Structure 1
Amino acid sequence: MTTTIQIGMAITLFITGIGMLICGLVIIMTREYQEAMRSLAGQSSRLSSKALADIGVQAALDGAAHLLEAITRLVQTAIGTGAFLCLLGTIICGLAFWMMMMIGA
């Protein structure tokens, strides 16, 4: 009975670890924020060319620069979260493997 519970726990941990690893990779591989960042960079360059002619556009250009910086931080945070999930998933899979080795001993 105890061995069955331990095997069930190890299998559950392994599946959880694989799920975390997959979620982390999906977060890292999706580039949804990077498309928005490219679009904003293109619009910022158009806006900066207009800012030379019109002083009123300068405030909009400053806002676009702050928005671009915020999206850059968002991308870095998402990649960090994905890397953390990958690392944690690998550790949990290793723990499940260690539990299975202890059961077999």
Structure 2
Amino acid sequence: MGIVTKNSILLVDYTIIARRQYGLSRFDAVIDACRKRARPILMTTIAMGAGMLPNALGLGAEPSFRQPTAVVVIGGLITSTLLSLVVIPVIFTYVDDFYQCLVAKFKVRN
């Protein structure tokens, strides 16, 4: 959960910065943020998955104890990668749409 949280916060932060500083549209800002964060997210996933792979394959001492844990960790890494790169940008767009709707509805008119 810590990896997903960190990656999600950085992804949304990059998106907001790109919109404010560079004037990008929401779609372009999300795509730019995903492009910038994809490499670190994938590198973290691959490094941790490669480190757990020998345990998941049952190599080493006492594989019956460590193998199930390694398989679960690798599955969690794959899930967190998809969550960070696909689900979080989609949720961000929904939340941003809702925010824009609220701003338009409650905008003070002079």
Give the alignment's TM-score, normalised by structure 1: 0.47
Of the two structures, which has the highest relative contact order with CA contacts closer than 8 Å and spacing of 6 or more? 1
Q: Which has the higher helix share?
A: 1
